[in-house]
Structure 1
């Protein structure tokens, strides 16, 4: 593994002595709770969970891998919930899953071959990309959908080209999980899908496959902070269920606005911390 065993402490987190403290666990559970709620209502929970892991003192590469692990149950439960919308496209699932597995594994492999210092330098750029996609993703999807014509469009674009693009997106998801769902929605629009429920279901299913491949790769080399990641995961599960139950009380646009403001501010902070 390129980053080796002597990982540096995150420059974004507190001193090492705070790792494993009750305060850290409360912070991570709260971040998971909020992230799970945001994922359920508007998407973008990784913008909360990943930085929380960094601030808790988890080294950058491990924090990124642990974020993927913490978000996985939400993808699974969402895909199960959308299954009736996914089922009509079951003949495509094997192909999508194979591409997602390969791309997710290769992305995770790439992450394992860089050091914490190298990854820290690109975190601001990855965050900027993910936040930009989050902000403009709906417009991009609408634009792509308005210019698609179902399977004829997919045929014109070329099955090979669409497959390679999905491979690249899956690679991104295995390397850095934030923003994966929105990029997948754009790909599905390009592929000619128009049913929003089917698109959300397929997005979640592909996210499951990509994340499983990545988590298996991370686990094989001990690159997941299991304790911290599991605390955030528990919070995300509780938050996701709570948000689903009380979703009628919180406008999704309000949550989305909060995520955008928070994500932009956080990205600027990462740029300032990294390059100042």
Structure 2
């Protein structure tokens, strides 16, 4: 019962953090390892369970999504394609292949979150015609595809990276970027989950999926209610603080 309660509460916390910032996997994945679950089983089961948190988070951010349907239509296919590639790589490559670069990716994501507003202003001042904007859109789609691969493989801090990347290109406020991030990250998790259920059913622990899924669903809804009330500046600070804590955890304690 203690183990089940701990996994459930980890799911609640991770679901809330994922919706507000990202990096919830850095809560649930180590929790599963602590209780002796094999890394691959823990990673796959956690991925499937976290889909529920993304769904409730998307519902919580539904107002911010109404004006961004065009962006989602353009970027979702790139996320989905990347997720399929990442899920396949997870089944054929050792865990160390991507986990070794997680700290570097987190640092890059945090820097992008911080410099995003300045880059947006600079880009807007230079765009006198449609060509630069078109090139930026292509680069954004390629970046989202690459992050989809990463998300399908491991996914820790995927949300931070997505917000940072979009903040360099899109002119939307950070709350709207956060809403788009929730949809793209959930799409990645969902596609990877379906892939795992088709080709890796023997590596899924359905008790873990149920515990993390139910916890993340609650956490995702609570996270959306809390996160939507934060000012843009405060939200950026929250992202940087949580991302820094995740970075320290990986470098010092893992």
Same fold judged by TM-score > 0.5? yes
State the distance in 1 between where 2:245 and 2:159 align.
19
CA drift of 1:189 comes to 2.2
Deviations 1:169-211 (A, max 9, x none): 1111111111111211122223333332321121111112111
Equivalent residue, structure 2, for 1:170: 148
From the CA coordinates, give the structure whose radius of gyration is larger.
1
For the aligned residue pairs, the C-alpha RMSD in angstroms reads 3.0
Matches for 1:38-187 after TM superposition, within 5 Å: 38-114=17-93, 118-119=94-95, 121-122=96-97, 124-129=99-104, 131-133=106-108, 135-149=110-124, 152=130, 153-157=132-136, 159-187=137-165
SS at match of 2:156: coil
* 1:103–1:174 Cα contact (<8 Å) kept: yes
CA drift of 1:257 comes to 3.9
CA drift of 1:37 comes to 3.6
SS at match of 2:23: coil
State the distance in 1 between where 2:164 and 2:246 align.
23
Segments of structure 2 that go 5 or more residues without pairing to the other structure are none
* 2:23–2:156 Cα contact (<8 Å) kept: yes
CA drift of 1:73 comes to 1.8
2:248 paired with 1:264: yes
State the distance in 1 between where 2:5 and 2:79 align.
34
2:207 paired with 1:227: yes
TM-score by length of 2: 0.80
State the distance in 2 between where 1:135 and 1:95 align.
24
Segments of structure 1 that go 5 or more residues without pairing to the other structure are 1-21, 271-276
* 1:174–1:210 Cα contact (<8 Å) kept: yes
State the distance in 2 between where 1:200 and 1:84 align.
12
* 2:56–2:220 Cα contact (<8 Å) kept: no
CA drift of 1:236 comes to 2.3
SS at match of 1:194: coil
> RCO greater where, 1 or 2, for CA within 8 Å and sep 6 or more?
2
Of the structure 1 ranges 166-175 and 226-235, higher mean CA displacement relative to structure 2 is found in 226-235
* 1:144–1:186 Cα contact (<8 Å) kept: no
SS at match of 1:88: coil
State the distance in 2 between where 1:104 and 1:254 align.
27
CA drift of 1:105 comes to 0.8
Q: How many residues align?
A: 243
State the distance in 2 between where 1:178 and 1:244 align.
19
State the distance in 2 between where 1:137 and 1:50 align.
25
